[in-house]
Amino acid sequence: MAPREAATPSANVVPFPQKKKDRELERITRIVPEHDGLCILYSHHALSREKLFAGKILCWGIQNDGEVVALLPWLNGVVKSTALTDPDSGRFEGYYDPVSEVIFTEPPAPKIAELQTAREHYHRENLDPKTVVQELPDTIGSHAACIVAQHLALYEVRSWQLLANGDFQAMLADPEKQTHTPILPGDSCLYAAQTQPGFRYFFQYHIANQIKAGDPVAVRALERLLE
């Protein structure tokens, strides 16, 4: 049988852009904080092929398609646990409760129920993509690493904003604009780390403290990232 020629699309048929559709389905629409100290477990073959590493979960989010995922700062952004798929740089292996030492693979049922209820109650449509939908305080000791005047500076992340387009902004405090304490989400002295020209990466508190203390392993790892 002779091969059939591919049909020529009609001029008035416009294929839907699949990638854009996927992005919209996977857009985070609502978040809830993680207050029980749960972590993700991930493999990282560049560091070790025999160990699993733990990363503290910042919050849980529900996508437009209803899927619930864990979220945490990773390199220069906030990532979904399920997006970590490369064993050489970080592959998601499951969730971990350090109190009970239980490992599990699905988000906790209470978080799923909380997010589903919150999304139904607070659902808003036709928002400007840059509208701040939620702002949660940072509860895991996140730091932003920035290059200022050719020197490394570490700043505490005070809060995280979820925008209507599903993006996250890490909020830092400008000491010159600070007028009172404590600094709470929404304070006028806060600004997005991503708007700082020298912004590079996010680190959780234990790594940030190692860098501040001059730990040689942490400093060398940071130098490689900044190369």
* Structure confidence by residue, pLDDT tens digits, 96-152: 999 999 999 999 999 999 999 999 999 888 899 999 999 999 999 999 999 888 888
Could you give the CA distance from residue 52 to residue 48 in angstroms, rounded to a whole number?
Answer: 8
**Spatial CB neighbours of 60, under 8 Å, sequence gap ≥ 6:** 31, 32, 34, 68, 69, 70, 71, 107, 111, 115
Task: Count CA within 13 A, CB hemisphere, residue 175.
Answer: 2
Length of the chain: 227
Provide the residue ranges of all domains of the chain, joining segments of one domain with +: 22-123, 127-227
Write out pLDDT tens, residues 49-80: 999 999 999 999 999 999 999 999 999 999 99
| Angle at CA of residue 34, ends 153 and 138, nearest 5° | 25
Whole-model pTM: value is 0.85
